Chains A and B, each alone.
Chain A
Amino acid sequence: MARFNAETVKLLGSELFDYEFSDESAASVAHIIGAMASYSRRLHGIGLLGIQPPFGYPALRAEADRIRRILP
């Protein structure tokens, strides 16, 4: 399995975002994402089973209503 390293960051940046990472920033970002992966796995420890993200339909509807008022 490929490691998430500077080379991976550069490839993904180029393919997904048409963005060129420098060698230095790719290495730094690879390190940041590695740390983020580790910390993000720990979030399971909170006990997230059954918890909804805060993306309720009222919020969607309110934003759509706002946009509708300014549509031509």
Chain B
Amino acid sequence: MITFKNIHKAFGANEVLKGISCTIPTGSVTVILGPSGSGKTTLLRSLNFLEKADRGEITLDDIHIDVENVSKAEIHQIRQHTAMVFQMYNLFKNKTALENVMEGLTVVKKLPKAEAKEKALYFLAKVGLELKADSYPHQLSGGQQQRIGIARALALNPDVILFDEPTSALDPELVGEVLEVMKKIAQEFNCTMVVVTHEISFAREVADHIIFMDGGVIVEEGAPEKLLFNPENERTKQFLSRYVSFTEYNI
């Protein structure tokens, strides 16, 4: 279970998170929606301390962190339990697809090479890219790179995978394959997924829980059917009205 308690974060004078508190149950798929600049990504990145929040408390299962007094060891510990999929994929450019997935297994989890390779190939197969094992990132399409990014995260067997707008940098034709993979792992693996996205249809189909943020606060949260079809808050209604066609769109 992930709990955020009263998280604050400001970049200079710009207050991005204004006291966020929420709970994300273990094994759930939680989608964070909201307009650009609402603090979605910052909230996501504050969990694994790629962005250090100014104050507040973060709990991940039995790891409890007071953000203000966080130690290097605590940051390292929480990162051992989480993995992230990035908007710009961020595959290691100097490593092949296979090495990208193996890297965390051999360096962080200290698995022997043979075992790591076997495991990495298994996860590459999961995302349908076992044939691309020896390709370097620049030889792959954006969608393929992102799927390898997902395999890299998944291979670590993390408690939580954080998805930071995983399809925003992809051209529309490639969005589908990535969402497909995400849907598949949501069903097959029992890890918690927190997804920042603009793909409303994905949220509707896959999410257990949706959080709608605007202006650094959580405006509304709830089950997809309720939040997407019967939003209570005016701001949520206004935001969703731009996605008129999402009910007809299927991936």
Bound pair (A, B): no
Instruction: Give B residues with C-beta under 8 Å from A.
Output: none
Instruction: Give A residues with C-beta under 8 Å from B.
Output: none
